[in-house]
């Protein structure tokens, strides 16, 4: 397969406000994110000839991307909606980069938003959390999404001796970074003890081991690397991207402690010509704290079974050897559903532009961004850099 390394760059990135936003619908947030992104890039809507969105859970359309294009009065020649859970953002970017590099279109806008915090009643939210499992082998036994992730946590504890305190270290680091981010939904600092004393949700997971439910939207604009001079921002280049897909339902997973991040990461590293040792910061999908431990291992940042120790050591905090989720992640910044990982992407752009303020990772040149959907099912890894090659 022909490499995408250095062929496409992100030239616009923006977020809406996040958290509790009752006065704006998912569609309004999606369009607002798009317009803020275009303003950041310094372009008008008539310069957008590609559009990718993901459907909203609270305000769905049969043809979501087409509906957003209609709303914005766009007439793109490339228009699609994607849905692979938390990896949606980076799968979409993979599609966009491929389309641009093959001359299908020039400037692709990726915009996503949802209103999980105010757009769903409590019973609707509970129904959503209980609807992920296999209809024959999982759902009849009543597990919710947190329970299925708790299964992974228990397996990791049994196999490698990982502790609840080590899971909690992931949440503490996320909140520390969110405290430096004025746009984060939750900014009050927490301790390991706070996590362990928070309400038990699904053994061994506590409430603070679980991601937020939020309203919000985010967008990026991609263009050909040969055209970045037409934009005023520092271009952030796509150096590598890879996907991995092992299963849809956790009952069919070959392993509960090793994921397809192994494959997605390897493919992204191979395309970029970089390795884990070359990454300055990482944004890892953190819907629950155990996912981060598994991703750290599967993406090669530490040996298998040592993810808990790595997190507990402080290595994942700003100032550590691998700062992760520098905006606060899904655990503390926000999580509006499928668009949640978009904020990891826009945060990476800010970090690589050196515009992240108090949470800036010094001299950041490269970033790895990883998303996963389902119950550690679909994985996409993206490697970005300030330099084209």
> Each residue of 206-260: pLDDT tens digit?
999 999 999 999 999 999 999 999 998 999 999 999 999 998 888 899 999 999 9
Domain for residue 140, yes or no?
no
Q: Which domain holds residue 218?
A: 8-120+213-230
What distance in Å separates the CA atoms of residue 134 and residue 249, rounded to the nearest whole number?
A: 6
**Residue 143, pLDDT score:** 83
* Crossing angle between the packed helical segments 261-272 and 289-298, to the nearest 10 degrees: 50
Q: Residues 6, 237: contact at Cβ < 8 Å? A: yes
CA distances from 378 to 62, 135, 294, 363 (A): 23, 19, 14, 32
Please give the pLDDT value at position 124. 72
What is the side-by-side strand order in the sheet with 236-245? 78-81, 50-53, 107-115, 215-224, 8-15, 236-245, 378-385, 366-373, 281-284
Quote the tokens at residue 272.
């970029």
Residue 383 lies in a domain: no
Q: How many other C-beta atoms can be found within 10 angstroms of the C-beta atom of residue 1?
A: 6
Q: Is residue 18 part of a domain?
A: yes
The rounded distance, in Å, linking the Cα atoms of 329 and 175 is: 8
Q: Is the dihedral of CA 139, 145, 151, 152 positive or negative?
A: positive
Residue 31 in any domain: the answer is yes
DSSP conformational letter for 314: T
Q: What is the pLDDT of residue 133?
A: 76
Beta bridge partners of 14: 219
At 126 the pLDDT is 63
Closest by Cα among 365, 366, 371 to 264: 371
Asked if the structure places residue 89 within a domain, the reply is yes
pLDDT beneath 70: ranges in the chain: 1, 84, 125-131
pLDDT at 328: 98
The radius of gyration computed from the CA coordinates of the chain, to the nearest angstrom, equals 19
Could you tell me the CA-to-CA distances from 85 to 45, 274, 351 in Å, in that order? 28, 27, 25
Question: What backbone torsions phi and psi does residue 281 show, to the nearest 5 degrees?
Answer: -155, 160
pLDDT at 139: 80
pLDDT value for 47: 95
pLDDT at 389: 82
- Give residue 85's pLDDT: 76
Kind of pairing, strands 50-53 and 78-81? parallel
Q: Of how many residues is the chain composed?
A: 389
CA–CA distance, 264 with 275 (Å, rounded to integer): 13
Per-residue model confidence (pLDDT) at position 130 = 58
What's 109's domain CATH number?
A: 3.40.47.10
Domain-embedded: residue 76: yes
What does the pLDDT read at residue 1? 55
CA separation for the pair 240, 228 (Å, rounded): 18
Q: Given CA atoms 15, 19, 23, 27 in this order, what sign does their dihedral have? A: positive
Residue 34 falls inside a structural domain = yes
Task: Give the number of domains in the chain.
Answer: 1
Cα separation, 374 vs 192, in Å, equals 27
Evaluate whether residue 223 is within a structural domain. yes
Q: Which residues pair with 200 in a beta bridge?
A: 206
């Amino acid at each position: 397969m022909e490499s995408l390394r250095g062929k496409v760059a992100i030239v616009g990135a923006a977020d809406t406000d996040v958290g509790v936003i009752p006065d704006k619908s998912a569609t309004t947030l999606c369009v607002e994110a798009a317009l803020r992104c275009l303003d950041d890039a310094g372009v008008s809507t008539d310069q957008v000839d590609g559009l990718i969105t993901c459907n909203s859970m609270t305000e769905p359309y049969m043809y979501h991307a087409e509906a957003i294009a209609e709303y914005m009065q766009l007439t793109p020649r490339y228009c699609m909606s994607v849905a692979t859970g938390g990896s949606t953002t980076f799968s979409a970017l993979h599609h966009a980069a491929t389309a641009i590099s093959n001359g299908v279109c020039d400037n692709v806008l990726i915009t996503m938003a949802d209103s999980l915090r105010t757009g769903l009643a409590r019973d609707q939210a509970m129904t959503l959390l209980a609807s992920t499992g296999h209809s024959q082998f999982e759902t009849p036994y009543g597990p919710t999404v947190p329970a299925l992730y708790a299964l992974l946590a228990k397996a990791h504890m049994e196999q490698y001796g990982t502790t609840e305190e080590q899971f909690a270290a992931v949440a503490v680091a996320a909140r520390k970074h969110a405290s430096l981010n004025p746009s984060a939904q939750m900014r009050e600092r927490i301790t390991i003890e706070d996590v362990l004393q928070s309400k038990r949700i699904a053994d061994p997971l506590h409430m603070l081991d679980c991601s937020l439910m939020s309203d919000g939207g985010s967008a990026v604009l991609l263009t050909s690397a040969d055209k970045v001079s037409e934009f005023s921002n520092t271009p952030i280049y796509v150096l590598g991207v890879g996907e991995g897909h092992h299963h849809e339902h956790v009952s069919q997973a070959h392993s509960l402690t090793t994921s397809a991040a192994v494959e997605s990461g390897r493919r992204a590293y191979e395309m970029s010509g970089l390795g884990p040792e070359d990454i300055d910061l990482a944004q890892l999908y953190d819907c629950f704290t155990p996912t981060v431990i598994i991703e750290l291992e599967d993406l090669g940042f530490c040996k298998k079974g040592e993810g808990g120790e790595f997190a507990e050591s402080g290595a994942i905090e700003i100032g550590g050897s691998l700062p992760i989720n520098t905006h606060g992640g899904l655990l503390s910044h926000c999580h509006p559903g499928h668009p949640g990982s978009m904020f990891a992407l826009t945060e990476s752009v800010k970090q690589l532009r050196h515009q992240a303020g108090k949470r800036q990772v010094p001299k950041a040149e490269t970033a790895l961004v990883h998303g996963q959907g389902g119950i550690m099912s679909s994985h996409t890894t993206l490697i970005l850099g300030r330099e084209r090659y």
